[in-house]
């Protein structure tokens, strides 16, 4: 299926609130984990059905429910009912191919993002959908499969008694997004590193493998751009949003997010431009090297062509061919040949072909 836009025929015309999973099933069972904390207490739970965690929604403490696996319509229905989310929201959650977006509902803020992973061996960026739903005192995040990208954040919650423990769900949401964005930067810096080393190789020994690499990097940069560019609009919208779920102290952090994503997009853009330059340089190098080859062939051919002709003339069997009977005819022939060759060499030196 096409990588940049996935769509199936049977999905055309579905109701917008139908709980239909769009994506590849990446985990077998649905798993729910909960971290519930305030500045003093912390409690972590892992469950496989919704009832076990549903009671956290009434706690005054900050609760982070993480759902791994989105394919199970029944579970989604339970979450929808349990956490009082409209079914259109869960329908969006289950569309893992959707464009990153932000929407403010009456009782929650919906944020969807792409979590990217860069496989350096095969130069391939894979993407997973992440949805964050911000409610009063509770954040529900949805991932396609279990991963460890948010482990550093959980560690900070467990160990630190600082801001992360005292501030509410909005700061937690910021911290989640911040990790995703930091990851973008890391991926771009890795891919950028490779592109820069490609550059060195390009000028020292340009080989055909460059084209394969160019193609891969260029495609991944396009994929990256497509995944992260919508995030800038999202952070700008978040900055302008006046929501009860977002406190004033968040402003500086949102601006930080916006700076970060802008930095990433601009860097990706720089690498895109560098790649295009590299292809142009490679193409010109190829043409230039053809010139060298042709010069060599031409010089060599043109020197020997007259010599071979002269030898051919004296190889003819005419009855009357006076030069053949000159005493030094053979040496005179060599003299003419050497003179011709030297003239040609001088001519090519002058033409700068040698």
Residues 260-319 within binding reach of a second copy (CB under 8 A): 260, 262-264, 266-267, 270-271, 273-274, 277, 279-291, 293-298, 300-302, 304-309, 311-319
User: Quick one: 74 or 255, whose CB is closer to a second copy?
Assistant: 255
Half-sphere exposure of 183 (CA within 13 A, CB side): 24
Q: Which residues contact 158 (CB under 8 A, 6 or more apart)?
A: 42
> Exactly one of 193, 243, 346, 349 binds a second copy (CB under 8 A); which one?
193
CB of 205 to a second copy, least distance (A): 8
Taking CA atoms, 108 is separated from 21, 26, 59, 139, 162, in Å, by 22, 27, 17, 9, 26
* Residue 320 found at the interface with a second copy (CB under 8 A): yes
Contact between 115 and 130 (Cβ < 8 Å)? yes
> Exactly one of 82, 219, 237, 340 binds a second copy (CB under 8 A); which one?
219
User: Quick one: 48 or 84, whose CB is closer to a second copy?
Assistant: 84
Q: Which helix (H) or strand (E) holds 67?
A: strand 62-68
CA dihedral 140, 141, 142, 145 (to 10 degrees): -130
CB of 36 to a second copy, least distance (A): 20
* Residue 253 found at the interface with a second copy (CB under 8 A): yes
Count the site residues for a second copy by CB under 8 A: 129
CB of 41 to a second copy, least distance (A): 20
User: Quick one: 40 or 320, whose CB is closer to a second copy?
Assistant: 320
> Exactly one of 81, 189, 243, 343 binds a second copy (CB under 8 A); which one?
189
CB of 253 to a second copy, least distance (A): 6
| Antiparallel, parallel or unpaired: β 31-37 and 62-68 | antiparallel
Helices (H), 132-208: 151-159, 163-166, 169-204
| Antiparallel, parallel or unpaired: β 101-104 and 109-119 | antiparallel
CB of 170 to a second copy, least distance (A): 13
Contact between 127 and 183 (Cβ < 8 Å)? no
* Residue 122 found at the interface with a second copy (CB under 8 A): no
* Residue 354 found at the interface with a second copy (CB under 8 A): no
Task: Tell which positions 145-184 bind a second copy, by CB under 8 A.
Answer: 149-153, 156, 160, 162-164, 175, 178-179, 182-183
Q: Which residues contact 98 (CB under 8 A, 6 or more apart)?
A: 22, 92, 112, 129
Choose the stretch contacting a second copy; rule: CB under 8 A; options: 55-63, 72-80, 115-123, 223-231: 223-231
User: Quick one: 56 or 217, whose CB is closer to a second copy?
Assistant: 217
CB of 28 to a second copy, least distance (A): 27
Task: Tell which positions 75-104 bind a second copy, by CB under 8 A.
Answer: 88, 92, 98-99, 101, 103
229-232 CB contacts, 8 Å cutoff, 24+ apart: 229/265, 230/99, 230/100, 230/101, 231/100, 231/113, 231/181, 231/184, 231/261, 232/258, 232/261, 232/262, 232/265
Compute φ and ψ for 130, nearest 5 degrees: -125, 130
* Residue 350 found at the interface with a second copy (CB under 8 A): no
Choose the stretch contacting a second copy; rule: CB under 8 A; options: 68-76, 118-126, 135-143, 217-225: 217-225
Alpha-carbon gap, residue 108 to 165, rounded angstroms: 21
| Antiparallel, parallel or unpaired: β 42-47 and 31-37 | antiparallel
Alpha-carbon gap, residue 72 to 77, rounded angstroms: 9
Task: Tell which positions 230-249 bind a second copy, by CB under 8 A.
Answer: 230
């Amino acid at each position: 299926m096409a990588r940049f836009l996935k769509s199936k025929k049977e999905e055309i015309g579905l109701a917008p609130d139908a709980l239909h999973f769009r994506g590849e099933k990446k985990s077998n069972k649905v798993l729910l984990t909960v971290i519930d904390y305030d500045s003093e207490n912390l409690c972590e739970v892992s469950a496989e059905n919704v009832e076990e965690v549903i009671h956290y929604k009434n706690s005054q403490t900050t609760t982070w429910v993480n759902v791994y696996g989105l394919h199970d319509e029944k579970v989604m229905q339970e979450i929808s009912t349990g956490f009082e989310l409209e079914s259109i929201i869960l329908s969006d959650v289950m569309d893992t191919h959707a464009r990153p977006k932000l929407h403010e509902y009456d009782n929650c803020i919906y944020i969807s993002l792409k979590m990217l992973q860069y496989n350096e061996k095969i130069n391939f960026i894979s993407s997973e959908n992440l949805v964050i739903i911000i409610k009063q005192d509770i954040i529900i995040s949805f991932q396609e499969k279990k991963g460890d990208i948010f482990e550093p954040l959980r560690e900070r919650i467990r160990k630190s008694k600082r801001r992360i423990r005292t501030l509410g769900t909005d700061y937690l949401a910021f911290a989640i997004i911040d990790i995703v964005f930091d990851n973008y930067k890391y991926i771009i810096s890795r891919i950028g590193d490779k592109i820069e080393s490609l550059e060195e190789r390009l000028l020292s020994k340009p080989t055909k493998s460059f084209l394969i690499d160019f193609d891969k990097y260029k495609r991944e940069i396009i994929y990256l751009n497509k995944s992260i560019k919508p995030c800038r609009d999202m952070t700008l919208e978040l900055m302008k949003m006046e929501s009860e779920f977002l406190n004033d102290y968040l402003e500086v952090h949102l601006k930080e997010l916006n700076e970060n994503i802008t930095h990433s997009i601009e860097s990706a853009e720089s690498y895109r431009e560098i790649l295009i330059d590299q292809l142009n340089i490679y193409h010109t190098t190829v043409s230039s090297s053809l010139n060298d080859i042709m010069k060599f062939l031409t010089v060599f051919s043109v020197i020997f062509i007259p010599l071979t002709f002269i030898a051919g003339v004296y190889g003819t069997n005419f009855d009357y061919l006076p030069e053949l009977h000159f005493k030094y005819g053979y040496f005179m022939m060599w003299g003419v040949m050497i003179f011709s060759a030297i003239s040609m060499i001088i001519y090519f030196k002058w033409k700068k072909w040698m």
